[in-house]
Amino acid sequence: GAVVSQHPSRVICKSGTSVKIECRSLDFQATTMFWYRQFPKQSLMLMATSNEGSKATYEQGVEKDKFLINHASLTLSTLTVTSAHPEDSSFYICSAPSPGGGGANVLTFGAGSRLTVL
Amino acid sequence: AQSVTQLDSQVPVFEEAPVELRCNYSSSVSVYLFWYVQYPNQGLQLLLKYLSGSTLVKGINGFEAEFNKSQTSFHLRKPSVHISDTAEYFCAVTLHDYKLSFGAGTTVTVRA
């Protein structure tokens, strides 16, 4: 089946630095990808929609300058957390529309990237 | 806008016992409904989905869910759980696009 790969799976960084998380669709193309954020013991919140070849669409309340999204190719989207602070620590999960999703809007999710900002 | 309420935050259950996870949604129009499972430190895996048609939907790993339009519910059930079913379960809804709205999740802990 379709696989979405995220890298790194875990990252620890110092406050004030920037961190890049990659999301790749393996063996299928994704013109759109979705980035979610999950706080401990809580649900997933959609942050933004990544669009290949154009600007990302951010959900209300998400800082565009803090969370930079680039969708450079049909198989790669990146999320860069700029000038990270401890409150940015979270589990970030990307997803892409599943090829042949059976007529539904089925998403394939990556395994997630756990960011810890010290 | 649509929303999802998962009525139980934690559900402890003994191995081989049945389990039901409750999900209610709010929407003024028809929606697609999903159940996803998340194992520790992993992404989400689709268990099953409801698009239209038969209200009883069967998914992977022996799970099934029933769509009830009048009660705006989409409860998930499994007749006999295993230790390996210990995980977080999320109900989600979408208005026929890819933007999913998730419930808060239900933690299922299966004990021997």
Across the range B3-17, mean pLDDT stands at 95
Mean pLDDT of chain B: 93
Instruction: In whole angstroms, give the CA distance from residue A3 to residue A1.
Output: 6
For B49-61, the pLDDT digits (tens) are 998 889 999 999 9
Cβ within 8 Å of residue A27, ≥6 positions away? A2, A3
For B28-71, the pLDDT digits (tens) are 888 899 999 998 877 889 999 998 889 999 999 999 999 999 99
Low-confidence winner among A3-12, A13-22, B40-49 (lowest mean pLDDT): B40-49
Mean pLDDT of chain A: 92
Low-confidence winner among A63-72, A76-85, B39-48, B56-65 (lowest mean pLDDT): B39-48
- Report phi then psi at B26, rounded to 5: -130, 120
Across the range B10-19, mean pLDDT stands at 97
Instruction: In whole angstroms, give the CA distance from residue B44 to residue A31.
Output: 20
How does DSSP assign B10-43, residue by residue? Answer: EEEEETTS-EEE-EEEE-SS--EEEEEEE-TT--
Across the range A90-94, mean pLDDT stands at 94
Cis peptide before B18 (omega within 30 of 0): no
Instruction: In whole angstroms, give the CA distance from residue B36 to residue B88.
Output: 8
For the cut 90, the answer to whether the pLDDT of residue A40 exceeds it is no
pLDDT over 70 percentage in chain A? 97
Spacing of C-alpha A41 from chain mean position: 19
Give the containing element (helix H, strand E) for A1: none
**pLDDT of the residue at A104:** 63
**pLDDT of the residue at B62:** 96
**pLDDT of the residue at A105:** 74
Q: A103: pLDDT confidence band, cut at 50, 70 and 90?
A: low
**pLDDT of the residue at A62:** 95
For the cut 70, the answer to whether the pLDDT of residue B17 exceeds it is yes
Q: A98: pLDDT confidence band, cut at 50, 70 and 90?
A: confident
Instruction: In whole angstroms, give the CA distance from residue A43 to residue A2.
Output: 23
Task: Give the closest of B42, B100, B104 to A107, CB-based.
Answer: B100
Task: Count A/B contacts: CB-CB distance under 8 Å.
Answer: 58
Q: Which residues of B touch A44 (CB under 8 A)?
A: 44, 90, 100, 102
Spacing of C-alpha A12 from chain mean position: 17
Residues of A with CB under 8 A from a CB of B: 4, 6, 9, 32, 34, 41-46, 49, 93, 95, 97, 102-107, 109-112, 114
pLDDT over 70 percentage in chain B? 100
Does B98 lie at the interface with A, CB-CB under 8 angstroms? yes
Helix, strand, or coil (residue B61): helix
CA A44 → CA A109, A115, B51, B77, distances in Å?
Answer: 12, 15, 22, 22
For the cut 60, the answer to whether the pLDDT of residue A84 exceeds it is yes
Q: Which residues of B touch A107 (CB under 8 A)?
A: 46, 98, 100
Instruction: In whole angstroms, give the CA distance from residue B101 to residue A38.
Output: 13
